[in-house]
Amino acid sequence: MTAAASTERVANGGGTAVVTEVAQRSTKKASNGIPIMTRTQQRSHPLDPLSAAEIRVAVATVRAAGKSPEERDSMRFVEAVLVEPEKDVVALADAYFFPPFQPSLLPRAKGSAVVVPSRLPPRRARLVVYNKKSNETSIWIVELSEVHAAARGGHDRGKVISSTAVPDVQPAMDAVEYAEVEATVKSHLPFIEAMKRRGIYDMDLVMVDAWCAGYYSEADGPSRRLSKPIIFCRTESDCPMENGYARPVEGIHIVVDMQNNVVIEFEDKKLVPLPPSDYLRNYTPGETRGGVDRSDVKPLVIDQPEGPSFRVNGYFVEWQKWNFRIGFTPIEGLVLYSVAYLDGSRGRRPIAHRLSFVEMVVPYGDPNEPHRRKNAFDAGEDGLGKCAHSLKKGCDCLGYIKYFDAHFTNFLGGVETIENCVCLHEEDHGILWKHQDWRSGLAEVRRSRRLTVSFICTIANYEYGFYWHFYQDGKIEAEVKLTGILSLGALVPGESRKYGTTIAPCLYAPIHQHFFVARMDMAVDCKPNEAHNQVVEVNVNVESAGPHNVNHNAFYAEEKLLKSELQAMRDCDSLSARHWIVRNTRTVNRTGQPTGYKLVPGRNCLPFALPEAQFLRRAGFLKHNLWVTQYNRDEMFPGGEFPNQNPRIGDGLPTWVKKDRPLEETDIVLWYVFGTTHIPRLEDWPVMPVEHIGFTLMPHGFFNCSPAIDVPPSSSNSAVKRC
């Protein structure tokens, strides 16, 4: 077997390390030992994100298919994303077309021949296109090829497979539209006069955040593409880093028609003076904010003299016994595919086919304008991936870092690249395990290390960091880090509100919640075409007083199989230590129990809004912490693909589970909804220190003993004498 080798460089602060990348082998063997020739080397794995060249080809193909020059000029490209293939195609690619070549992924009958095609199906792109002239949305499927992806002269067109109009929807907003809304509002004469009444004559000071309209009445319906912007005002036009969110503009109601770039509603309802300039408002270094930075912070160096322990081949990552693929989409941002663990003689054991964050909702608890309509769907209305930004060495991540770029189509059909968008690195995580024998004084201790994959996005005033951590003991932790600037309101002098916290003179932060939805297409010990998973709920019960509990100390864990989708709408319960286990119905551990992974909730909450709250029409999925569905590749987003201005009640999860499909043995998808209630503090100003929230996937009977028992000791950790 021959292999060509190439290298890629990994950032390490000011230095570099080299990670070997193994190229496609020219020959390989099937499980029966017969060599198989790769007739056509494929550049992209079926799950690799679209390259910049593929996006260009896809956009050009759609544009060329326009029926007239007018239609082509009116096309706006909201999204271009990979059409993810069926799971058996992924398995075929991993088994025979891409290293490390895993034929065991494809189950076959004993003695049957391995039939391997000469090439994989062509990759496809899915484009969401908004027609600015007709206010119509359509979805296009374009077939690509290797020559298209290479974009080396010749063909620069793919093949249109389908074009489907989607009625009664509005797609996500785009950065181009943000800028257009700001320009439209700042040139509107009644708005200029309203700002003059507040003492603002320089429109360069004004900040217009183009929030989506939501849906509160028929006037917000998708027949018009609307924005209801929120206004802020800086104090210094020549200070680009000044915190303009410190001066919210209250009392002005504006609705912008984004299709035609015109203000269609304007009212100066109430003259609320702008908050005075707060001397604590800025967050820039030292003297630039009128303060002094600490002088006693010494350097902290993360050093890996032999380089990182992970290996990267394209988007395929191997770290110790973990392996998975990295993807990225405009809505979700980071996606992890084909997550598996190499378990000695048992080989590669799948855990999940696909992991991602698919939606987040931020409802505010102040009934006053404009805060009552602050109910942003940050994934569906804006796009977590499209709002991501470049990460900086030594700031967002430390140590040896492998970065991944992300490519998107912009609104006009060009390609934009976010460099260093995804960060992959190792982190020390304290003690992994330890025991000291009290008789001998000898101790064994191991330090924990984790592999972290992350990205960070900015959505108006807030920042969100999304992290997946892989541990040496088989755990996977999902974490969100919340930071950024509070969305504020102005007060009349002497006024206070019970729906928020006053954090500066005439300035308050409304109470609100942040909800996140993780979609986990599980595959515990399942090969791609197997559907052998089920979900059980575990609750701890107290034994009733009586002959079985004479000492009043007895309690036990009780399991309940979630048999159908309606039965699987569940909430967290810390009083019963509630958690859920995804089990394989055909595979057992050494005690004869089914192998599984359990979902361990972190802190969580449910919406405080009444059930009749209008934003819950679009966010019915927030009513429960856990949903379980039978896999359907078209069921991707819990509030439907187009939550923006959506007039339909219960789109997405609440509608899908009405089918009440059986879950006793199937291909399982977990939807975990987790949130935090943010009661703002003065310490959250002017920029909020990171708040952490998340959950853990933990092996439960998946291994026969601790998988961390073979982690070697550090050089100074063996046989340490008791102090």
Which positions are annotated as active-site residues?
A: 378, 462
CA atoms within 13 Å, Cβ hemisphere of 594: 18
In angstroms, the Cα distances linking 687 to 114, 233, 591, 615 are 59, 17, 52, 27
Give dist(CA 222, CA 466) in Å, integer. 31
Residue recorded with tokens 């489907």: 164
Cis peptide before 370 (omega within 30 of 0): yes
690-710 burial code (b ≥16 CB/10 A, e <16): eeebbbbbbbbbbbeeebbee
The candidate with the shortest Cα–Cα distance to 514, out of 476, 469, 488, 483, is 483
**Dihedral sign of CA atoms 88, 92, 98, 99 in order:** positive
- Give the chain's count of helices (H) and strands (E): 8, 37
Cis peptide before 103 (omega within 30 of 0): no
Give dist(CA 500, CA 391) in Å, integer. 33
The candidate with the shortest Cα–Cα distance to 144, out of 85, 193, 203, is 85
Give dist(CA 386, CA 171) in Å, integer. 13
Give dist(CA 641, CA 353) in Å, integer. 21
Token pair listed for 388: 């991501």
Token pair listed for 370: 């404009």
Name the helix (H) or strand (E) containing 656: helix 653-656
Token pair listed for 117: 């095609």
Q: Write out the DSSP string of 363-391.
A: EB---STTGGG-EEEIIIII-TTTTB---
Give dist(CA 17, CA 307) in Å, integer. 6
Residue recorded with tokens 């929230």: 693
Give dist(CA 222, CA 642) in Å, integer. 10
Instruction: Tell me the three state secondary structure of residue 193.
Output: helix
Give dist(CA 119, CA 42) in Å, integer. 8
The candidate with the shortest Cα–Cα distance to 538, out of 575, 593, 576, is 576
In angstroms, the Cα distances linking 240 to 65, 209, 210 are 43, 16, 19
Token pair listed for 448: 């924990």
Give dist(CA 321, CA 542) in Å, integer. 39
The candidate with the shortest Cα–Cα distance to 613, out of 216, 71, 150, is 216
Token pair listed for 208: 């217009």
Name the helix (H) or strand (E) containing 254: strand 252-257
Cis peptide before 686 (omega within 30 of 0): yes
Instruction: Tell me the three state secondary structure of residue 313.
Output: strand
Give dist(CA 413, CA 409) in Å, integer. 6
In angstroms, the Cα distances linking 491 to 201, 495, 517 are 21, 6, 34
